[in-house]
Amino acid sequence: METVAPSRLDRWLTAHLPDLSRNRVQKLIDWEYVTLNGTVCTNKKAAVKVGDAIAVTIPATKPLEVKAEAIPLDILYEDEHFVIVNKAAGMVVHPAPGNMNGTLVNALLAHCGDQLTGIGGVERPGIVHRLDKDTTGAIVVAKSELAHKELQAQMKAKTARREYLGVIHGVPATASGTVNAPIGRHPHDRKKQAIVPVQKGGREAVTHWQVVERLDNFTLIRFRLETGRTHQIRVHCLHMKHPMVGDPVYGVGRSVGVNLPGQALHAEKLTLRHPVTGKLVTAIAPLPPHFIKLLNVLHNRQQSG
């Protein structure tokens, strides 16, 4: 192995092992799987220069300590590298203490089986981004470390396009706009997010929105995410003084005559570059029945009024 200039060990390995993330490389160094000139090296900042001999051992992937569950999935796109699922309302994306079953990860472990090649040394589906429990629609999940790394890079670079449809209370004064307001943990309620200044721990959050249809005192809106903060659209709608219909956390608690599982928010369209071929992939998730029913009810009210 050769290099043209001295470099940090972890950076050099990341550049020469494109299938592995930098985090994964650093863990291999920490766990004594890397030798430099015949000696185990656990210093990720060690200098690498021309003529050095570097050896890396990639350990076998370990099974994820989460059980596979044969839960039906609505697949929008799939190949050997990643899968795009139309997530149902009520499904949590990732297992967590107190909620280890019935998640999207449980379902994908059963669906993908031996297609999962290992991410971070663990045989698991790679969560690239998340959707709230009651938000429906398109979510992409990687099957390999390479796909996971590339898809996350697209999310970070804002080249992956995520579009949502939602119904809000009230009618905005303009036909379109952008909310650029940092989001962080709510200062008094750990289960909620809020608009928090960057200097107090908030992170940049940008949501573009456009009115699709005005429905009396409700509005169907298309949202495009530039960032992906927890509860971003819901918090930004509240910030606009137009909370999401059916939102149990940030909503106004008024009934609209439809039994909704939660906020009326649907990730309708996901556009990204294939992590291996570079081709554009677009997945469109059809609206769930409860969302269609809500729109029908609001249309009927508008017509009868």
Could you give the residue numbers annotated as active site?
132
User: How many residues does this entry show for the chain?
Assistant: 305
Amino acid at 137: G
The residues, any chain, with a CB within 8 Å of residue 163's CB and separated by 6 or more, are 222, 223, 224, 225, 267, 268, 269, 270, 271
Q: Residue 284: how many CB atoms within 10 A of its CB?
A: 15
Question: Mutual orientation of helices 9-16 and 22-30 as an angle, nearest 10°?
Answer: 130
- Contact indicator for 165, 221 with CB cutoff of 8 Å: yes
- Contact indicator for 104, 85 with CB cutoff of 8 Å: yes
* Among the listed residues 60, 53, 19, 22, the one whose alpha carbon sits nearest the alpha carbon of residue 39: 53
Q: What are phi and psi of 99, to 5 degrees?
A: -150, 65
Distances 66 to 71, 90, 166 between C-alpha atoms, Å:
14, 19, 33
Distances 145 to 82, 132, 138, 151 between C-alpha atoms, Å:
10, 24, 21, 10
DSSP 115-152: G--BBTTEES-EE-S---TT-EEEEEEESBHHHHHHHH
Question: Cα angle at 27 between 19 and 41, to 5 degrees?
Answer: 105
